Amino acid sequence: MRPAHLSSILDQEFIGARDGSHTPVMLWGPPGVGKSDLIAQIGERHSAPVIDVRLSQMEPSDLRGIPFRESEGDKHNVEWAIPSMLPDSQRHGPQGILFLDEITSAVPSVSAAAYQLILDRRLGEYRVPDGWAIFAAGNRQGDRGVTYTMPSPLANRFSHYEVDINLDDWVGWAYQHDIDEKIIAFLRFRPELLFDFDPAHNPVAFPSPRSWQFAHHALQKFGDKPHLLLGSLQACVGPAAGIELKAFIDSLDQMPDLDAILRGEDIKAPKEIDLQYAVASALVGRAIRARGSDDAARVYGHILNYAKAFRQKEMGVMLVSDMLRAIGDELFSTPEFAQWASSIGDIMLYD
């Protein structure tokens, strides 16, 4: 399932924890596709704490607690010290997310200790507070990570979703998080490189949503150091993708004057397809930066007018679609939007 749809499901499951309709959710997917980020975004959206428990690094006693002797007169009982990392309504608040990450990498004895916690929301005397959602994530067995087969009793305690790779969802996320527009443009140009992992070869560095974020950081640090840039990009996304990205960046010297476009001058769209993607991504970035300013409507209007300059109408549709995802419904109130919409004829704009 694409990340945008999964976010909606996780939102509802978080809300369902308050009224007793919550079902624990298990997210499956290869490394680097953003499973953990999806959970973190739910916490941010609801201003709720996320307790990230890495089961792969634990022993059963880390969950169950450590036994200690409790004496009362002549009676001696064994009690269990509840781990402080588990949710507590007084310390952590009435609502939140208990996130069991790397659950498929946990040894079977730890998985067994999690059974009761996941289904019954308790471990011995400890109870997960009402209002707390339980989410988990892990790699599949074919992903060449350290994984164990999830036991059927544990699997039957979750609803299961596989995280798909979706370029539009990633682009929307990338604009929200100020990822360099050159990387966004490159992946629009080469969408198959958003995620390219061959478990048979088990590469060390490979393209993934996570590693493209690393490439963004590399570009910020080494963009003005040409002798270091290629190596740093390859270290993030692998040798082949790093070379392609560097070549793409080098080709952007032929970009048209973006400031002239935003002044409303008659600037021709480039013929080269890679430059068209670069111009479109850069203009979306300019629209985001103009949002909330006195010039916003003027900037939006000039970009919408320029969207009609592309020989291929689909490129203009992509540009406006990305703008709509980035700045929202205020784009509809721009007079040039209706003019642009009528110019695309039988091509439908959709999200």
We report the CATH number of the domain holding residue 123 as 3.40.50.300
Kindly state whether residues 136 and 212 are assigned to the same domain.
Answer: no
What's the predicted TM-score (pTM) here?
0.84
Give the model confidence (pLDDT) of 258-272 as tens digits: 999 999 999 999 999
Kindly state whether residues 320 and 249 are assigned to the same domain.
Answer: yes
Kindly state whether residues 81 and 224 are assigned to the same domain.
Answer: no
Kindly state whether residues 247 and 313 are assigned to the same domain.
Answer: yes
Kindly state whether residues 96 and 226 are assigned to the same domain.
Answer: no
Token readout for 306 is 């320029």
Instruction: Report the alpha-carbon distance of residue 233 to residue 212 in Å, rounded.
Output: 9
- DSSP result, 14-25: HHHHHHT----E
- DSSP result, 143-191: GSSS--PPPHHHHTTSEEEE----HHHHHHHHHHTT--HHHHHHHHHSG
* Of 109-113, 226-230, 332-336, the least confident: 109-113
Instruction: Identify whether 35 is part of a domain.
Output: yes
Kindly state whether residues 213 and 283 are assigned to the same domain.
Answer: yes
Segments forming the whole domain that contains residue 316: 167-343
Inform me whether the pLDDT recorded for 39 exceeds 80. yes
Single residue among 162, 193, 220 that ends a domain in this structure: 162
Contact status, residue 47 vs residue 97, Cβ threshold 8 Å? no
Instruction: Identify whether 176 is part of a domain.
Output: yes
- Report the pLDDT value the prediction gives residue 118, as an integer from 0 to 100: 87
Kindly state whether residues 45 and 142 are assigned to the same domain.
Answer: yes
Contact status, residue 113 vs residue 5, Cβ threshold 8 Å? no
Instruction: Identify whether 207 is part of a domain.
Output: yes
Instruction: Report the alpha-carbon distance of residue 194 to residue 143 in Å, rounded.
Output: 17
Kindly state whether residues 249 and 175 are assigned to the same domain.
Answer: yes
Instruction: Identify whether 282 is part of a domain.
Output: yes
Give the model confidence (pLDDT) of 62-102 as tens digits: 776 666 666 666 676 766 666 778 899 999 999 999 999 88
Kindly state whether residues 186 and 319 are assigned to the same domain.
Answer: yes
